[in-house]
Amino acid sequence: MNTSQSVVLDERTVPCASERRRRALPLVACMIVLVASHVPSTDCAFAQSPPGAQPQPAVPPDEREAKPLVQIEIKDDSGNDFLMRATELKRSDRTSTIKVVCKKRIGSVGSSMFVMRAFYDIAKARKCEYFVNLKEWTDENGDWVYIGGFTNKKEADLKKEFGEQFDYNNESGQKRKLLSVSQFALVFESLPTKNETAPACPGDGKSPSVSEAAEPEQGPIEKATVYKLRTNSDLFKDVKEGVRIVQGKNFGTAEEAARAYLSSESGATVPARGDLSILTVGPVLDSPDKVLAGEYSRSGKTLTLKITHTNVRKQGLQLRRNFIWRPLVAVPYSPKMSDQEVTVTWTALESLPDGKPLKTEAVVVTCPTRLGEPQKRTDD
């Protein structure tokens, strides 16, 4: 028989609860109302959404309406609607397909911990000690979809344990790591029960999130397009140094890239669907100068891109024939839930790729990542 009930944390299931709370990681607690529903796997009639290029097709209506195996929610202040909901759509032998619907983001800390709580609860329901995020993408409705792997093998080989279709590295090129239920019990089993008062979740990024607790991500920028906007363009005087998140990734010409940049105000909300790019504008350069998109890194709430360039004018090179241009660099962007801002550093070198830095101040530009939430659908 299928059951559905509100679940709160039971201190009796965790020995020495007060001691575990004392040792728990600092966490801005959010009042989470959990709705758990356990259905025997033989009763499930879900079709797993296959991984592939973004965006993925939305889950069909018949699957969205089917009763989930495990579902958790964060309720709004009224208690009548949810802010975020995670639903286990399908459970196979060692993997689960999980969909997260976000009506209102609660900050990178709250969002990251909420997704991790979904993996944690599913692992407990499966009676598995270890879990890993095998695949993630955003569907056409802007909802997050994950494929999680669950096992009791501490040193499991991901391909042998879960399938050859899954990579050892994540979408950012970092090695996937198995996490343990015991590891996160210190956090989740110390959250307040429904009879306690929880402080509001500000989402200010000061509390440690899952991404902040792990090693920072870093690696080379694999794809980037450099556009040269010359002074003979009517847009040249309007395009200033900065960085913005824009829709699209192939802008064709420098003027098209400049229009996309100018039409997206810094910090403006961008729909969280389709192709996105980080579009950054650097300092004015001369015809011999070159630009190279170097490395990226993620640390806490900040995604940082490092771009290097030459500057022959600063080196005193005589220019007989010259045209002045301003570089626009477009980098495809797959947002992470932890991202709250993007910072781009433009550094002048004597030569590319590994020349000595010139004695000139680097240009550093920053913008917040504000992605639009999925719109609530209404029937006509």
pLDDT higher than threshold 80 for residue 139 = yes
Name the nearest CA neighbour of 90 among 135, 126, 62, 49.
49
Q: Which one of 209, 236, 264 terminates a domain? A: 209
- Asked if 195 and 160 sit in the same domain, the reply is yes
What pLDDT, in 10s, does the model give residues 306-336?
Answer: 999 999 998 888 888 899 999 999 999 887 7
- Is 160 found in the same domain as 61? yes
Q: Which domain holds residue 350?
A: 217-372
- Per-residue pLDDT tens digits for 150-184: 999 999 999 999 999 999 998 777 889 899 888 77
pLDDT at 205 exceeding the cut of 60: no
Into how many domains does the chain fold?
A: 2
Would the pTM count as exceeding 0.75?
no
How far apart CA 107 and CA 337 sit, in angstroms, is 9
Tell me whether residue 380 is in a domain: no
For 26-46, what is the mean pLDDT?
A: 33
Pairing state between β 341-349 and 302-310: parallel
Asked if 112 and 255 sit in the same domain, the reply is no
Distance CA(301)–CA(340), nearest Å, equals 5
Residue 276: which H helix or E strand, with range?
A: strand 276-281
Helices (H) and strands (E) in the chain, counts: 7, 20
Give me the torsion for CA of 291, 292, 293, 297, rounded to 10°: -120
Q: Note whether 169 and 31 are same-domain residues.
A: yes
For residue 267, the model assigns a pLDDT of 63
What confidence score (pLDDT) does residue 110 get?
A: 66
74 and 104 fall within a common domain: yes
Question: In the predicted model, is pLDDT for residue 4 greater than 50?
Answer: no
Residue that terminates a domain, selected from 150, 180, 209: 209
Percent of the chain with pLDDT over 70: 67
Of 158, 190, 209, which closes a domain?
A: 209
Task: Please state, rounded to an integer, the average pLDDT across all residues of the chain.
Answer: 74
Percent helix, strand and coil across the chain, each rounded to 5? 15, 35, 50
- One domain, residues 198 and 236: no
> Is residue 90 scored above 70 in pLDDT?
yes
| Confidence check: pLDDT of 38 > 50 | no
Residue 76 confidence class, pLDDT cut points 50, 70, 90: confident
Question: DSSP assignment of 66-128, as one string?
Answer: SPPSSEEEEE-TTSSSEEEEEEEEEE-SSEEEEEEEESS--HHHHHHHHHHHHHHHHHHHHT-
**pLDDT tens, position by position, 211-238:** 333 445 788 998 999 999 999 999 999 9
Do 344 and 243 touch, CB atoms closer than 8 A? yes
Distance between start and end Cα atoms, the chain? 37
Q: Compute φ and ψ for 348, nearest 5 degrees.
A: -90, 130
- Do residue 223 and residue 192 come from a single domain? no
| pLDDT confidence of residue 264 | 84
Percent pLDDT > 90 in the chain is 41
